[in-house]
Amino acid sequence: MKRILSIFLMGLLPLMGANAQENIEEKDIAETSKQYLPEKGDWTLGIDVLPLLKYIGTAFHSSKADELNGLGGTPFTKGSSFADKNKTLMPDVSVMGKYLLTDKWALRANIGFKVGLETDKSYVKDDRASVLNLLGSEKVENKITNNKSGVSIMLGAEYRKGERRVQGVFGAGLLFAFMNNKVKYDYGNEMTSVNQNPTGSLWGDDDLIPSGYRILMKYNTGASFYTGITGSAGVEWFVAPKISLGAEVNLSVYYLFSNQTYVESEGYNATLGRVETRTDLVSPGNRGFYADTESLGGALSLNFYF
């Protein structure tokens, strides 16, 4: 009986091996049939995953984990000398996208913007009403309006090389950025020849405007611009069909220029016998040329193709 069973099992071994080989081949065919790489007509959105990794890393050993404020694309002005001039003006997050013209060539964009209009209000004594009624408590309103905006744009193209799940990505593009900041003061108490020192006025610095003049427009920077070109080289590893982790390094050459900075004020001119408005120049403007390497669009990005 044992001998018959042994012969039977020996006869099954070739069949089992063939079946196992067939399963492996079917698995390989199924794996290779998956479309990992993007194709002509596909488009993608990408995010910088470093903020997410940082958040996860601090979530278990910090009383207050870092917030996911940067979970998105990274504008090319982030960390540059342009943004350092006034970090509150430039966007911290951008939208990264690509569109494949062919299986190898794609258009790419990195766009971020920030627009802010802030108004701070406060009450001060009404000078006119207090003259008419010394015991009165009437108030007027002062306003400080801060109008600030920033835009960061990169438009370009890229070439992709590689037939398997890892592709080299090489690109080039044009850079442009713009930022503006304006702070305006509106006073409830009017300056007149009688009331030359209205309550609640913000008086200027002696180094900028004459004594006795109050600020109307402080440090109006006009506009600052940033323009240049960039070249990039990196890789994308497709961890799943049309989902990739990417990293790239950029060499950027750009030119920075800004308009004049000035301050507007008003005060009583005793010589002319009237209230006048004046404009004083603070800075004639700035210029700069830079060439550096940086990570544009995220040092480590997660990309989804559709």
Residues 164-196 as b or e (16 or more Cβ within 10 Å = b): eeebebebebebbbbbbbbbbbebbbebeeeee
180: Cα separation from own chain's centroid:
15
* Cβ-Cβ contacts under 8 Å for 235 (sequence gap 6 or more): 166, 167, 168, 169, 246, 247, 248
Q: What is the pLDDT of residues 13-22, one digit of tens each?
A: 454 444 544 4
Evaluate if residue 8 carries a pLDDT over 70. Answer: no
**What are the residue ranges of helices labelled H in the chain?**
2-33, 50-59, 81-84, 127-132
Residue pLDDT, tens place only, 125-154: 999 988 888 777 899 999 999 888 888 899
Q: In sequence order, what are the beta bridge partners of 173?
A: 156, 230
Position with higher pLDDT, 142 vs 83: 142
**23-27, 82-86, 247-251, 289-293: which has the minimum mean pLDDT?**
23-27
Could you tell me the pTM of the whole model? 0.71
Q: Is 159 helix (H, G, I), strand (E, B) or coil?
A: strand
